Amino acid sequence: MASNGCAGLLPIPCRSGVTRLSCASLVFSRRVCWLWRSVLVRRGQRHDIRKTLRDGLCIETKMQGRSPSSGFYRALTCGAALLLCAASAQAEGTPIPHGTLELIARNQWIAAGQTLDLGLRFQLEKGWHIYWVNPGDSGEPPHVEWQLPAGLTAGAMEWPTPRRLETASIVDYGYEDTVLLIVPLHAAASLAAQQPARLGAEVKLLVCSHEMCIPGKAELSLTLPVKTQPAAPDAGTVDLFTAARKAMPRPAPGNWRFRLADANDSFVLSVNLGHQITGHRVTQAIFFPLAESQIENAAPQELLPVATGFRLTLRKSDRLLKPIERLKGLLVLSADRSYWIDVPLGKPGAARSKAATVLESTQYNP
């Protein structure tokens, strides 16, 4: 099960004298209250966000007549954290800023020589979100460091189809409400069926609303038996994994053909669906680029249906510093139809089917 943690919001005065909120994530170990270094960050400050997620930043605040290092301040902070932890003790999962996070498994045990699906299950409060592998105009995706016994290896994270999270001037890519990020766990055939295996994960993440972002950290763990017989599904989680699999993008059909052209300030993606379309032309198509700073995320994507498919015009990003050789990403045609594509520039190309390979080469590594 997940290790205990607690996160809360403490009001602090900013330089202008206006009260803002900053997240203090407090972890208790051996009866000692430690202040996990965290800070409220403004959206769009990607460099500062990365630095915060790597190193953490101490909360800098001044209380009237009190130093942040004073015994009064420490006692007040720890007392508030104790109340928050007590209030959330009955909540499922580990608290993160504006939500909870839980490490779950699809099966009841680990079977030697087989692959087990693990899941990071985020449950977020209304109005808050986390990010896709390409976060869009701001933010950072969750990053996981695994602590696994010998003979167990975590694969690349599998990302469900994201949503466009739009504001007046920027567009991000991410997830709201509840989302399950799946990570395959590979068990060596030589894995001994002895004592249970403890799976540990340290997750660093950024949780945002339309007004602010809060970095967080969670220490998760899950202990499972190791057996030689094929694993049985866990009745409490199998439906969650089944639903998550349905939300995963698929390889594009083999008879689809793609062409990517450079049109000065835009890319034009032409898609031939391999047959004549009669009566039901494509009326919706959204492209999510896998790499940052290739297209202008907030610009309209102009769709032009044609007899055998459609053309999608994507405005180039102002931050695109050198020509691209290919365009990789997700092509979403409806709520349940999303496809991985990888198209070279200037000539026809077929979609690559190994989406995990594409993701592995771009996985977030701070």
The confidence band for 278, taking pLDDT boundaries of 50, 70 and 90, is low
Interatomic CA distance for residues 290 and 281, integer angstroms? 26
Mean per-residue pLDDT, 42-65: 40
> What percentage of the chain has pLDDT greater than the value 90?
58
Q: What's the pLDDT at 10?
A: 36
DSSP 109: S
pLDDT digits (tens, 9 = 90+) for 178-202: 999 999 999 999 888 778 999 999 9
Q: What's the pLDDT at 277?
A: 62
Q: Does the pLDDT of residue 157 top 50, yes or no?
A: yes
Q: Cα-flanking dihedrals φ and ψ of residue 8, to 5°?
A: -145, 175
Residues 6+ positions from 76 with CB-CB distance below 8 Å: none
CB 272 within 8 A of CB 311: no
Q: What's the pLDDT at 200?
A: 98
Q: Where is average pLDDT lowest: 23-37, 212-226, 277-291?
A: 23-37
Mean per-residue pLDDT, 278-284: 75
Interatomic CA distance for residues 165 and 136, integer angstroms? 9
Q: What's the pLDDT at 182?
A: 98
Mean per-residue pLDDT, 40-46: 44
Mean per-residue pLDDT, 58-69: 32
Mean per-residue pLDDT, 311-324: 94
Mean per-residue pLDDT, 242-254: 93
Residues 6+ positions from 363 with CB-CB distance below 8 Å: 133, 156, 157
Q: Does the pLDDT of residue 355 top 70, yes or no?
A: no
Selected residue with higher pLDDT from 232 and 21: 232
> What percentage of the chain has pLDDT greater than the value 70?
68
The whole-chain average pLDDT of the chain stands at: 76
Selected residue with higher pLDDT from 83 and 104: 104
Q: Does the pLDDT of residue 61 top 90, yes or no?
A: no
Alpha helices in the chain (DSSP H): 46-55, 71-87, 238-246, 355-361
The confidence band for 300, taking pLDDT boundaries of 50, 70 and 90, is very high
Q: What's the pLDDT at 220?
A: 98
Q: Does the pLDDT of residue 302 top 70, yes or no?
A: yes
Q: What's the pLDDT at 72?
A: 39
Q: What's the pLDDT at 276?
A: 61
